[in-house]
Amino acid sequence: MVEIVLRVNGCDERLDLPPQVSLLDALREDLGLTGTKKGCDQGACGACTVLSDGVRINSCLTLAVQHAGREITTVEGVDHPLQEAFVRADGLQCGYCTPGQICSAIGMLAEHRAGVPSAVTGGLPGAPGAELSDEEIRERMSGNLCRCGAYNGIVAAIREVAG
């Protein structure tokens, strides 16, 4: 067992865990934060996306013990215009992928603001933030699958918030 302090949504959480427990399982099973979803459990669907120190990651492919002292943000700690935009734009049907979509979109918007390039933009990073076209949004959100196929609504919601 390994003792760690995980800072989740602004609160310090003391945990005593076997080291093989993923961050995803620690959030859901040990802390009861079931907003973060387990889809594929192998990094292919994005339903488990959370922010670690503001950076979006797949919580299923990382051990909880690796995040000791880091600031984890899950959908329970999110208060962002994206949430209402997803509702307005019908950016969901069953809703299972939505917490991951929201956390991923928050991370994505921050990356775009910081000039992080994508396969669509190419070119030098840090160049003045190009407009976030639908093609850009789709590429930058490609790590989040929606099996209901609500992609048009998801793209519209993100486009609305990105302005």
Partner 1 sequence: MTSFSYVAAPDTATALRAIADGDRVKFLAGGTNLVDLMRERIERPDTVVDISRLPLAGVAELPDGGLRIGALTTNSGVAADPLVWTRCPVLARAILDGASPQLRNMATVGGNLLQRTRCLYFHDEAARCNKRAPGSGCDAIGGFSRGNAVLGVSDHCTATHPSDMAVALVLLDATVEVQSTRGTRRIPIAEFHRVPGDAPHVETALAADELITAVELPPAPVAANSGYRKVRDRAAFAFALVSVAAALHVDDGVVTEVRLALGGVGTKPWRATEAERALLGRPATDESFRAAADAELRSATTTAQNAFKVELARRTIVTTLRQLATDRSPA
Return the percent helix, strand and coil in the chain, to nearest 5. Answer: 35, 15, 45
Binding mask 44-73 for partner 1 (x = CB under 8 A): --x--x-----xxxx-xxxx-xx-x-----
Binding mask 123-142 for partner 1 (x = CB under 8 A): xxxx-----------xxx-x
5: alpha, beta or left, given left = phi > 0 and alpha = psi -120 to 50? beta
Determine, following the binding rule CB under 8 A, whether residue 115 of this chain makes contact with partner 1: yes
Residues 6+ apart with CB under 8 A from 65: 2, 4, 17, 19, 21
From candidates 34, 76, 143, 160, binder to partner 1 by CB under 8 A: 143
Determine, following the binding rule CB under 8 A, whether residue 35 of this chain makes contact with partner 1: no
Shortest gap between Cβ of 18 and partner 1 (angstroms)? 6
